Amino acid sequence: MPSAQKPMRYGHTEGHTDVCFDDTGSCIVTCGSDGDVRIWENLDDDDPKSISVGEKAYSCALKNGRLITAASNNTVQIHTFPEGAPDGILTRFTMNANHVVFNNDGTKIAAGSSDFMVKVVEVTDSSKQKTFRGHDAPVLSLSFDPRDVYLTCVTNWLLLQKCNDVINAKSICRLGWQPGSGKLLAIPVDKVVKLYRRETWDNKFDLSDTSITQPLNVVAWSPCGQYLVAGSVDGSIVVWNVETQECIERYVVTKHEKNYSICGLAWHPKYRQIAYTDTEGNLGLLEDIGDGKKPNDKVASTAAKDYNDLFDGDDDDYLNGDVIEPPSSPTPGANEDHGDDDDLMPTASHQRRAILDDDDNSLDIGMIKANSNLLAKDDDDDDQTGGFPALPASSTQQHFYDGPLPTPRQKPFQSGSTPTHLMHRFMVWNSVGIIRCYNDEQDNAIDIEFHDTSVHHATHLPNSLNHTMADLSTEAILLACESTEELASKLHCIHFSSWDTNKEWTVDMPKDEDIEAICLGQGWAACATSALLVRLFTVGGVQKEIFSLPGPVVAMAGHGEQLMVIYHRGTGFDGDQCLGVQLIELGKKKKQVLHGDPLSLTKKSYLTWVGFSAEGTPCYVDSEGIVRMLNRRLGDTWIPVCNTREHCKGKSDHYWVVGIHENPQQLRCIPCKGARFPPTLPRPAVAILPFTLPYCQVTTEKGQMEEQYWRSIVFHNHVDYLSKNGYEVDENATSQSVKEQQELLMKLFALSCKLEREFRCVELADLMTQNVVNLAIKYASRSRRLNLAQRLSEMAVEKASELATALEEEEEEEDFRNHRNVSSNKKDPLVPSASVLDNMSKYSKKTSSSSRAVNKQSPPVIKPLIPKPKSKQVMFLVFSCCFRTTGFQMWLEENRASILTDNPGLNEAEVIKEGMSRFRVLLSEERMAWTEKAKGRAANDLTEDKKRKRPTATEDEAKKNQEQKAEDSNLSKKPKTSGQSTNARLSAFAFKQS
């Protein structure tokens, strides 16, 4: 069947146009000078889906459901496919991006620009970028090596005219690597296609044809690697069989209809079709290229057989399995990080890291050839053929470990900072202020800005020591730098709140010890070093305690007297990090709250932010946007309180956290479009996100109220912590929060009553306060749920007794403390003596004698521990509310005898049940009468209780004192009377005798 050329159709306005297929070949995607990307189901599709990406679109690439475009607004954008929804900006240039390509597995893209730069960007994390500089002309074309080892680019060949715009280029010179093995590199040069052999970079052969009269513009390989197609600037298309180095006989040359330059070529991933575009914006399709059959298993095996003939004898030995090495075998140093911006490298190990490094040189063929000795492989050690099934392993093949791979450890970082490789970056952004660093050719300085200018004015500092870490508090500024060959790692502090004139101090670390993380607290500073040490200092520069860490530090944070350290507990696997956390209180009573507990992270994520809320609760955020907070109420566990990814509009969007507040509940962060961190200019705006606990069925009324209640509980745990540590707490805010919580419980109680969930009502009442339980009893009685009301009454009695016991214990403890203080003040001071034993003996004798003297003079009176009158009144009101008689109870008292007469042998519970059934049968007027009678009785009881009010403790004590005085006076008077009568008798007797 001969090849066929379908008529071309209009695709875009006149100008440069690019084309590609999707992964399955079901759609054709084009972009053009009208700034639109169009998705065609086939060439006859009259209503293609259109996506606007800018004023002009120069290049497009599609893989794994991600559509990448290079637009005239100097950006490389990403869209979802086939929806076409914007998903962020991967990178930016200072001029137009001319070409974008995916790597073999679709995890990275490379983009070349007219500003002479090439960038390689991770698709899932645009913050991981590599920039290649040093080119002497605009980058027109790029191509990834299928093995991800090399990246080739074309800037300016001697035969090409220099230009600053891809539209004006005489030839865009789109080159390409042979699929699969990557053994050959095809480059269109003038009227021929030059093929270079891998790693030796010698010109193996050229492909040409006599019909080519104008320079070739673009080349493209077939998916099997057997055929190569090229388009020229005059509109001709040529297809070669690479093995025979000849044009295909049935399809030698296809002349373009209008002689416009061919600027886009793409092979169908399954069928022998070629889509092409020209500079007029038209789209065309060539079918049945080659033998005229659609590929199937037989065709693929035939192609493999034909392609295997390209290998020489040495390659045949290799393919026989003698020296096969699986691609998954570990390579030494493959997981090592190269570049400061890669906080976390992917798990898969690729040899490309040996080449893709943060340097200022471009990657051209000469540089690749010079550095090819980095990979110690022979020219013939190809381990796979292009696009064909893997060969069966021979019996001599070695067995390799195929289990979970270890995850590279996350590098240390400062919370609220952006990557250190940036020329303009944030060193820290927290609730106190912002520290920016500028490191370019003109200046290397640090700018410090405070949110509250009353704390301190803005400051500009020179960065002569190249500080890379910073922290900021209301007392000081802390800076740190890494060591160099000449200088040690330094910790520099500016204590701007000091009353002294010397406000700065610097400490040098010991040799071979680098500072990796720093933080500030209230009156102290800390740094973690590469020697697995944490060094503490006062804010004035005095060295304090030192302690060791079980593993390398990841991040640190300080607040008040609290220090939190995150470190590596061990090695993680399958993309997971293995982190531990220590929380230490550095106050007068130093103690460790968290003892290296494992830190919970989302699957295959890493830590991005760690710190404290404004109220002092530890928090942290992982790369999946999950914010977790310490729940002191539940044994110092971590609870997720927010998922920032739910608020992102695109998959590549992120929120950069800068602060957390518990009252009011606010998560302060910066939205980042298509990136993980914001740029320094223009100044980013701070957004406020709400907190939401991940409770089930939050769309229902019950789930919403449960989430609100427990979120209120979690976000007010700091009140108890602050009050225990001597901080003043706003009583109004505390009472307001308790009121909100009890209102939510009462709403849940009412909802459960409507759903006839009485057991659930009792569970909710257990969380209520005493007053709210009384309100629940009334609600249950009015809802005619007398059994529930009875159970709640019993619970109210228990709560009242517990409250009374707690109050008594508290007052007893307070009185005992006061009595102890009084007795300690009455003790005599110790008499100094020669020995401790003498002290003890003399002290005991002195004490005993003095105690006897005291007893003789005035015997001590120990007052009984009587609760305060206020507590008595409170308890009286509580018990009066609990024991208030209801109408049903009065009715049951009068009718109990009749119930037992009709049903002898019933126990108390059965009597109440039978009485409830009879009481419900009564007319509403009768029930109301009993209720009114119960209210009248309760009022009378309350009046009588007031009349029979017992005297308070002070009244009892005054009365007893009066009675005691009266008795003492009577006793003193009686002896006097008896004494006078006796004297009179004696004198009378003596007078008579005389």
Q: Give the residue-averaged pLDDT of 874-886.
A: 50
Q: How far apart are CA 744 and CA 738, in angstroms?
A: 10
State pTM to two decimals.
0.53
Which residue has 């009248």 as its token pair?
A: 936
β-bridge partners, 285 = 6, 275
Q: What is the pLDDT of residue 319?
A: 37
Q: Which residue has better confidence, 363 or 243? A: 243
> Measuring CA to CA, which residue among 118, 106, 69, 60 is closest to residue 90?
69
* Range scoring the smallest mean pLDDT among 3-12, 29-38, 922-931, 947-956: 947-956
Q: How far apart are CA 441 and CA 567, in angstroms?
A: 36
Say if residues 275 and 21 touch (Cβ distance below 8 Å).
Answer: yes
> Which stretches of 442-589 are DSSP H helices?
none
β-bridge partners, 49 = 39
Q: How far apart are CA 467 and CA 445, in angstroms?
A: 9
Q: Give the residue-averaged pLDDT of 692-718.
A: 94
pLDDT tens digits for range 573-625? 999 999 999 999 998 889 999 999 999 999 999 999 999 999 999 999 999 99
Q: How far apart are CA 227 and CA 240, in angstroms?
A: 6
Report whether pLDDT(849) > 60.
no
Q: What is the pLDDT of residue 961?
A: 61
Q: Which residue has better confidence, 52 or 433? A: 433
- 312: pLDDT confidence band, cut at 50, 70 and 90? very low
Backbone phi, psi, residue 734, to 5° = -65, -45
Report whether pLDDT(796) > 80.
yes
> Measuring CA to CA, which residue among 786, 887, 865 is closest to residue 820?
865
Tokens of 716: 């007010």
Tokens of 180: 């699969």
Q: What is the pLDDT of residue 168?
A: 61
Say if residues 111 and 130 touch (Cβ distance below 8 Å).
Answer: no
Q: How far apart are CA 992 and CA 601, in angstroms?
A: 115
Angle at the Cα of 884 (from 880 to 885), degrees rounded to 5?
A: 155
Q: Name the range with the highest mean pLDDT among 777-791, 876-890, 946-960.
A: 777-791
- 768: pLDDT confidence band, cut at 50, 70 and 90? very high
DSSP state of 503: -
Q: How far apart are CA 290 and CA 311, in angstroms?
A: 22
- Count, in order, helices (H) and strands (E) of the chain: 15, 50
Q: What is the pLDDT of residue 869?
A: 44
* Range scoring the smallest mean pLDDT among 20-24, 352-356, 405-409, 950-954: 352-356
Tokens of 18: 């690019």
Q: Which residue has better confidence, 827 or 937? A: 937
Q: Which residue has better confidence, 490 or 956? A: 490
Q: Name the range with the highest mean pLDDT among 197-211, 489-503, 866-880.
A: 489-503
Q: What is the pLDDT of residue 819?
A: 65
Q: What is the pLDDT of residue 147?
A: 86
pLDDT tens digits for range 242-279? 888 888 744 444 445 556 888 899 999 988 889 999 88
Backbone phi, psi, residue 925, to 5° = -65, -40
* Secondary structure of residue 523 in the 3-state scheme: coil
DSSP letters along 221-257, please?
E-TTSSEEEEEETTSEEEEEETTTTEEBTTBSEEE-S
Q: What is the pLDDT of residue 934?
A: 78
Q: Which residue has better confidence, 181 or 67? A: 67
Q: What is the pLDDT of residue 350?
A: 40
- 466: pLDDT confidence band, cut at 50, 70 and 90? very high
Listed in order, strand segments (DSSP E) in 454-499 are 459-462, 469-472, 477-481, 490-494
Q: Please enumerate, as own/partner, the contacts of 978-987 that have beta carbons within 8 Å and a separation of 24 or more.
A: none
Q: What is the pLDDT of residue 929?
A: 85
Q: How far apart are CA 588 and CA 523, in angstroms?
A: 12
DSSP state of 195: E
DSSP state of 684: P
Q: What is the pLDDT of residue 955?
A: 55
Tell me whether strands 654-661 and 246-247 are parallel, antiparallel or unpaired: unpaired
Tokens of 580: 């531990």
pLDDT tens digits for range 725-755? 778 878 888 888 899 999 999 999 999 999 9
Tokens of 27: 């759609």
* Secondary structure of residue 385 in the 3-state scheme: coil
Q: Which residue has better confidence, 147 or 506? A: 506
The amino acid at 576: D
Say if residues 155 and 139 touch (Cβ distance below 8 Å).
Answer: yes
* Range scoring the smallest mean pLDDT among 66-80, 682-696, 936-950: 936-950
Backbone phi, psi, residue 955, to 5° = -65, -45
DSSP state of 573: B
- 457: pLDDT confidence band, cut at 50, 70 and 90? very high
Q: What is the pLDDT of residue 578?
A: 96
Q: What is the pLDDT of residue 948?
A: 52
Q: What is the pLDDT of residue 322?
A: 39
Q: What is the pLDDT of residue 876?
A: 44
DSSP state of 726: T
Question: What is the signed CA dihedral for 405, 411, 413, 419, rounded to 10 degrees?
Answer: -100
Q: What is the pLDDT of residue 493?
A: 97
- 461: pLDDT confidence band, cut at 50, 70 and 90? very high
Length reported for the chain: 994
Report whether pLDDT(144) > 70.
yes
Tokens of 76: 């490389």
Q: How far apart are CA 775 and CA 33, in angstroms?
A: 72
* Secondary structure of residue 653 in the 3-state scheme: coil
> Measuring CA to CA, which residue among 582, 560, 556, 557 is closest to residue 569?
582
Q: What is the pLDDT of residue 340?
A: 43
> Measuring CA to CA, which residue among 262, 325, 365, 248 is closest to residue 17?
262
Q: What is the pLDDT of residue 619?
A: 97
Say if residues 421 and 437 touch (Cβ distance below 8 Å).
Answer: no
Q: What is the pLDDT of residue 233?
A: 87
Label residues 180-207 b or e (16+ Cβ within 10 Å = b). bbbbbbbbbbebbbbbbebbeeeeeeeb
> Measuring CA to CA, which residue among 342, 357, 339, 440 is closest to residue 680?
440
Which element (helix H / strand E) includes 434?
A: strand 433-439
* Range scoring the smallest mean pLDDT among 411-415, 646-650, 884-888: 884-888
Q: Which residue has better confidence, 798 or 944? A: 798
Report whether pLDDT(848) > 60.
no
Listed in order, strand segments (DSSP E) in 746-865 are none
